[in-house]
Amino acid sequence: MNQSDPTSESSVPPWHALSPEEALSALGASARGLTSEEAARRLERHGPNRLPPPPPRSPWTRLLVQFHNVLIYVLLAAGLVTSALGHWVDAGVIFGVVAINAVIGFLQEGKAERAMEAVRRMLSPQALVSRDHTRVTLPAEGLVPGDVVHLQSGDRVPADLRLVWIHGLRIDEAILTGESVPVEKAIGPVARDAVLGDRRSMAYSGTLVTSGQGSGVVAGTGRDTEIGRISDLLAKVEPLTTPLLRQLAGFGRWLSVAIVALATLAFGFGTLVRDYSATEMFLAAVGLTVAAIPEGLPAIITITLAIGVQRMSQRNAIVRRLPAVETLGSVTVICSDKTGTLTRNEMTVQSIVLAGGPVEVSGSGYEPRGGFTRGGVDLRPQEDADLGEVARAAMLCNDASVRETPSGWRLDGDPTEGALVVLGMKAGLQPQPLSEQLPRTDVIPFESEHRFMATLHHDHQGRAIVYVKGAPEVLLPRCKAVRMSGADVSLDVNAWMMRVESVAGSGQRTLAIATKRVRPEQTVITFDDVDDDLCLIGIVGIIDPPREEAIEAVGRCGAAGIRVKMITGDHAATARAVAQRVGLVEPTRACTGDELNRLDPIAFESTASAVNVFARVSPEHKLMLVTALQAQGEVVAMTGDGVNDAPALKRADVGIAMGVKGTEAAKEAAEMVLADDNFATIGQAVEEGRTVYDNIRKAILFILPTNGGEALTILAAILLGRVLPVTAAQILWVNMVTAVTLALSLAFEPPENDVMRRPPRAPDQPILTPFLWWRIGLVSAVMVSVTFGLFVFEREHGASIETARTVAVNTIVMLEVFYLFATRYLNRSALNRDGLLGSRYVLISIAAVVCFQLAFTYAPPMETFFQTRPIDGAAWIRIIALSSLVLFVVELEKLLVRRFRDRGRALDRKDGGPLP
């Protein structure tokens, strides 16, 4: 046969909409497979069946990129200035901070490359293929369009296949669609516009065969597969920077311009107005620049984030990228996958419809713990013949098993069958003893063509019985009776179909269970035996139940002003049912992927914001929804566990992957991994993120007034025509010593009491609000007044310039010590036991900085390095007494602000207006 290869044409047929014969013809193939020669020609044309690696970046390029940051430029400038002054130790510290930041960024680079590599690893390493009219096992990368691949239980599908023959084939496609249960495959064509989860005639690369057998012709390899398309989508997604980094970049640019402008103005004023020499003013401008640069700020921010990472790891949230910690604190919307995230990914029977009425089943997952109730009254299966019969049939007509392991109960087999085994165990039955009482004689396995399974059993008295389970629409027409109180009564098919629809309407998957007595001597079961005269026992409703802790976490997020949206590939009815159970706002409306496709861009953005449940969506839809929400100013966290979630995880402000059941592709694309797959952990992570942001603001609010006070002190000296109160080297000493002691202690501050009762901060809200700028200005004014005042006092009372400068340096440090207490709380009073003595880190840092300053003042080497002189006790009393003023000034300001706000709230309550 002369085989041709039309697959290189630009228009690819919708393989799922073609019949097997049409697909084979379009691919220039036959059911007997390709010849080796033809396969070699196609391999040369299409290339290996693997995903191409991304173009690599050299390590040097990745390293140099880490220095492309305004704050890093500021630090480098500070290091160069310090080097020019000859202070190599201080310069080494600054350059060390730069190097640490660069190493951290270097190690975090390449996330997208690793994500795509994780996707590539999901491709099957080998495949059973028909070549030269013989079945051979080949490396999967050698597959080409037109090859015929044979599948069996346990195989990972090696390429996108158009199925041509199946026998009970079921495939787990959760990594692509998010569906909770394996999909029953069929060979008939489906609609051209069918969504991915409804293309039952296809088997997709990377998915897992859970049961049955099948054969398919390769329709796509490598990048032309569905998983390859997702990989390409992932490569095109540009990850966003975090709000904190955006704000710090803007702040760094603004600060750089302001410092250069201020130093230039000071230089011009000093030389033109005060008649300083150019050399003197150059050194003064250098001192002013060094004073204004917050050298320790990037290091403090990095350390604060790292501490947040450590705290979150203790709460089962593993952060892969430091800034993601803070970003969590600003999240306004969480887009959550359903399966395995909000739900347990463990199918559970939750209802049974018997002739005597509906029965509720408690418990969830594969742990056989739970009971039965009807109308709130407990039922005992041993005393209810119909309930006991359903449980017995569910366990016998079954090929799955559940077992207890050290890490919990585990399923072997199909999830739906596992739910039925657990149902039987809740009823007090055990699989092994029951199978010995009623051993299986024969079976009709489940196949998608007939959509039921039947088993034949014989007891030890020689009686034979058939149990059947399957789709209600298939079994009900075959039933002539229904079991009621142990007796068979006439069955109304229409009435029972209405009951089935009622159960299905609540999002539960329905399964009918029936029975039939046959002759004792019968040992083989045929389709004729189950074609009619069945007796319906009951209908079971099965669902993947939501996690109890997820319900609580959704409520906690709501209280914190965070909206939760469900985005899943599962069916709309199932999504609505889970949404109602977890407590999503307005969950009754579920928008499907088909509906999203029909929306224009404006309507799409509106729907993305208004609707909380999205079902039957594709990876592109997830990505588009995240992007649409971000376009409206939302800070979006996206959770997921499948390959289909990876592009949206990468695009989101915070991608959160499941650590236990998540794919490697999802983990590599995410900033954070939940070690326990628990949605509730996200709420704890948000709390930690908000705390980290608070502590970063506190650190900035602590560091900037110090720099402002130092810069203003030098500027005041220039304006007044006096000698500089502190040198550039002394300024560097103060900044580095206090940064690694006092400022660092703020990174360990615990959460504020109201941290999870506040609404999320606006994404465009600056780190420093106008009020905080006022606070910085106020503190800077106090610091410059006290420092410059004491310097002038010492000089006017005969102290040498070295002694006066030593007093000035110690004054700056002690001002910071007292200001540290006030900074622990942004608005609350610190004049209490907890505020003054409640943090051991603050007390340790103060003790450390006091030791440093004593060495600075009295150690002989410091006299050489920093031109210091010993000072007497009277000077220390003046320093401590006047430095304490900053604490009382800030606390007085807090008191006035609190009273003003309380008065405003009282007026709002009186007038019926809104409370802020």
Instruction: Tell me which residues are annotated as active site.
Output: 337
Place of tokens 């007497």: 872
CB distance 380 to 315 below 8 Å: no
Q: What count of other Cβ atoms lies within 10 Å of the Cβ of residue 547?
A: 21
Report residue 128: phi and psi, to 5°. -95, 115
Question: CA-CA distance, 690 to 684, in Å (whole number)?
Answer: 10
Q: What is the DSSP annotation of 255-283?
A: HHHHHHHHHHHHHHHHHHTS---HHHHHH
CB distance 641 to 657 below 8 Å: yes
- Ramachandran quadrant class, 754 (left: phi over 0; alpha: psi -120 to 50; beta: rest): alpha
Question: CA-CA distance, 575 to 506, in Å (whole number)?
Answer: 10
Tokens of 646: 């990876």
Closest residue by Cα to residue 324 from 26, 674, 24, 37: 674
Question: CA-CA distance, 160 to 213, in Å (whole number)?
Answer: 16
Closest residue by Cα to residue 810 from 912, 717, 883: 883
Q: Report the DSSP pairing between strands 348-354 and 357-361.
A: antiparallel
Q: 858 has which bridge partners?
A: none
Q: Report the DSSP pairing between strands 160-172 and 134-139.
A: unpaired
**H helix or E strand, kind and range, residue 490:** strand 487-490
Place of tokens 């900037």: 704
Place of tokens 């008649």: 275
Question: CA-CA distance, 823 to 887, in Å (whole number)?
Answer: 9
Tokens of 425: 């165990």
Q: How many CA atoms lie within 13 A of 177 on its CB side?
A: 25
One-letter amino acid of 62: R
Place of tokens 């992957």: 657
Closest residue by Cα to residue 337 from 345, 325, 349: 345
Spacing of C-alpha 146 from chain mean position? 39
The set of residues, in sequence order, having a beta carbon less than 8 Å from that of 77 and lying 6+ positions away, is 289, 293
Query: Tell me, what DSSP letter sits at residue 222?
Result: G
Closest residue by Cα to residue 536 from 605, 474, 599: 474
The set of residues, in sequence order, having a beta carbon less than 8 Å from that of 864 and lying 6+ positions away, is none
Q: What count of other Cβ atoms lies within 10 Å of the Cβ of residue 357?
A: 10
Q: Where are the alpha helices (DSSP H) in 721-868?
A: 728-738, 744-745, 770-796, 801-823, 833-837, 840-858, 860-866
One-letter amino acid of 487: A
